[in-house]
Structure 1
Amino acid sequence: MKLQSAMFKRQMIAFVSIGILMLLPELSLAQQQIGWRDLTIPVEPQDDPYFALGFESRKALEELLVLESYREDDNDLSAKASQRVAELHEELASAGLGAQALIDKDRNFQAKIVAQRSMVRAEWDGLEIKIPGYVLPLEFNGNQVVEFLLVPYVGACIHTPPPPANQIVHVRSNVSFQANGLFIPVWVTGKMTIEKSQQSVGLSDGVTGFEVGYALHATEVVEYKQ
């Protein structure tokens, strides 16, 4: 069970950092229409310890990293698990690969992913852009939304780990619009700025706080249509 928990933790890091960042289409930069990947600092593929590994070596490395993460959580490996670690080292060595070098590379890769979650793209500062996303309302004027968070996927910040700071945009609007519920898909047009902030959303089970990397002063908010 503990090994399964360790594997789940590694999968969550990869999922949150990579898998959920783009559920809406990327758009043409020439038209100043941008997608969510345009707000991130990409990780170089060759930094990934799995880069260029064959199928069997990938399987061996994955199992080894799970066992190593279990040990890093201050858990002692059983004799059987320790023997399996030794076997995996030998298996990778037979493929001309250094197991410890791959473990170190994975640690560096995971650290880089965590660091890049808060990095923003300075080239967008002060530009007029258009971006699609989902509305998480922060402030209303009557039944009209005047301030909200724009997020890349439905359910962001609600009962799940929030997106990275560079995947949340704090939107203040000149134009109000009616949002019938949470997570309305919209196009937002306006001036983007680099503005890191701490935001919080009150939910039925309490207040959730998270970091935001961008701000946008909206001049148009319209229903999303691809």
Structure 2
Amino acid sequence: MRGMFYLFLSVLSQVCAEALKVSGHVGHNVTLPCAYDAQARGLLSFCWGRGKVPTLKCSNRIVYAKDGAVGFISESRYQLLGQLNDGDVSLTILNVQPDDAGVYGCRVELPGWFNDYKINIILAVEEAPLEQLATQASRTVTPLRQQDGDDTTLYRKGRAEDAFIAFRKVGNICRVATIVSLTVLIITIIMASKKQTRPLQRLNTSTMENVYEMI
């Protein structure tokens, strides 16, 4: 039964996670959006990891912050250039390379059970167009404003806020689904326990009858 419970939590965490696709170009910077309402909730703990957001924490963690204070960044290419005090915890990857392609997961630890904000972002890395390569030497790419299809700061924050609003809607559905599913799981466990005790009771009754017959 414990295995079923953990399996249920694992499936639920994936179903309730938002998903987003972002494209970037080799040699440029790209930002993966993630944000929450810091004005309403205060500064919260969050993490970024390579791979989908698991049941707890972040897999292959690359960034971690406790109550808004960044305590761990695995590489200098990973930057948090948003306004953390406003809840913008978007991850910027500098000088993107083909190996950076893949899934990234952001988790913001919201108070309450099954309540964390989770978003899985699929990063697709493409080769820069030829005209961009020709002018790359004379162009200065700054972390705060990205070019050639990469998100600007305002657009990045807007996408993150849109994802967070969508998550809140999905989150309400997930919480209802969690309550219903847990109720069904508890009822199933109780019924299974009763079925296991019935044969034992019948065996005890049969044993007593045999004893009386021998007497």
- Do the two structures share a fold, i.e. TM-score over 0.5? no
Higher relative contact order (CA 8 A, sep 6+): 2
From the CA coordinates, give the structure whose radius of gyration is larger. Answer: 2
Q: Which has the higher helix share?
A: 2
Structure 2 length as normaliser, TM-score? 0.29
Q: Which has the higher strand share?
A: 1
Structure 1 length as normaliser, TM-score? 0.28
